Chain A
């Protein structure tokens, strides 16, 4: 049996007794993904607002941004952000270590976050723009008829409503982000995938280490999908005008869709 070739002990250890090096790698994957996603949302929002601007240069810039970052491979972008500045301009744009007040960050991890965030922003721009477009046109008219200037109407009326169209695809984007973050291993960041890669190269047991790392990615994405489901539930509830308590919302997230919590005896 081929399965007998697997060293189950290693797999077992990797899953149930992770060492501190592994935990650090897991932590890197999480913070790189979260930071890059936050950066992506911010860039996407700026891009979407630029896209709707009256000024042609802003619209063109926004279009160019999406063209480039959606049109080239992520791995190329990561290399360019990390090595590109040095090679093109002869200066280290991103230092070996980046200082943020109390804590330091590995320069490569920082570059990875920037690259993943830039790439993500291009996709988020489209998602956010579609979300804003999906809000009923009458909402902006109502806000403006009340004397609200465009920016205020956007911030108070349109964007809060657009979020309910943006959140579901945003969740999917974050799911991809956690997996795509493995690419930063190629600029030398030891995150989940990198950890597995290094161990396999010293033990020559690829199947065990990659099975284990696949398991951990699955844990991350599964935990996230539960969180995502809860957020979407809450959004749906507020749209229905139901005022669910926290306990009811948690319960609602676990019940099959269509089943109502409130009013059931």
Chain B
């Protein structure tokens, strides 16, 4: 873990959908190379929180910084103004995201999915993008699927392509939004293995919203428990799973483990 400042720094984030307050002041720092797993019951705001980190949801108050840049807003004379489309897009290049339902582009092959953003956004030359894209696909074990359309891939394979696609932008931070929740049980392992490799071998900084407690226990540096729009407990997985302090955490873990 690096000692210089956090890669992601959220402080007192509040998010409302209409009158419903989904995030009630969430603060979390994530350092380079760290893997943070966010767990909690559904409706606790964990997915909303990581969607706020790349401004897919606009926050109502608080602040989020990634790599030292304020996300989604500009600060001018002590006030926050929503940033321009182009600036937000630029910030998102630093933040990879993997969705529960993969969201691969169905009209593009696996390789085209992976190289689309590097070529169109980062303006990487085609030849180089293809070379890197093939290496990424090989990294997730799908080198032979480069010319296959997502419709012909299994859920696990699609999610692995989606991980490669997010990595292709060389993000400083990877967000995973319940990456295995939409998968058949028998293919969950292959996706978790890829994520493990990212975390343990490549030192990727990751925030993972998950219900896979085995993964959290094995891979996470820190586990964060959210409930009702707040972080109620956090700590290294050993302490967290074996000796949770909060009653709410104990109840949740007893149900899920």
Contacts and interface: CB of A to CB of B under 8 A. Distances in A.
Bound pair (A, B): yes
Interface of A: 136, 138-139, 141-150, 152, 156-157, 160-161, 238-241
A161 B121 CA distance: 20
B101 A150 contact: no
A148 B88 CA distance: 10
B101 A160 contact: no
17 contacts: A136-B103, A138-B101, A138-B103, A141-B56, A142-B162, A143-B105, A145-B56, A145-B96, A145-B166, A146-B117, A147-B121, A148-B120, A152-B120, A156-B116, A161-B106, A239-B106, A239-B151
Contacts of B121: 146-148, 152
A147 B107 contact: no
A240 B95 CA distance: 31
B151 A241 contact: yes
Interface in B140-175: 148-152, 162, 165-166, 169
B240 interface: no
A241 B105 CA distance: 12
Given A149-B89, A152-B121, 8 more contacts: A138-B99, A139-B103, A144-B56, A144-B89, A146-B116, A146-B121, A147-B92, A150-B85
Contact of B150 (A144, A149, A156, A241): A241
B136 interface: no
Interface string B86-97: 100110110111
Contacts of B210: none
- The majority secondary structure among interface residues of chain A is helix
B54 A145 contact: yes
Contact of B107 (A138, A148, A150, A161): A161
A54 B235 CA distance: 43
Contacts, number: 71
Interface in B108-125: 116-117, 120-122
B151 A240 contact: yes
A149 B86 contact: yes
B103 A147 contact: no
Interface string B49-92: 00000101000000000000000000000000000011001101
A142 B103 contact: yes
B105 A145 contact: no
A136 B103 CA distance: 9
A146 B106 contact: no
Given A139-B103, A152-B120, A161-B107, A145 B149 contact: no
Contacts of A160: 107
Q: Which 10 A-B pairs have the closest CB atoms?
A: A241-B151, A147-B93, A142-B103, A241-B149, A146-B117, A138-B103, A145-B97, A241-B152, A149-B89, A147-B92
Nearest to A137: B103
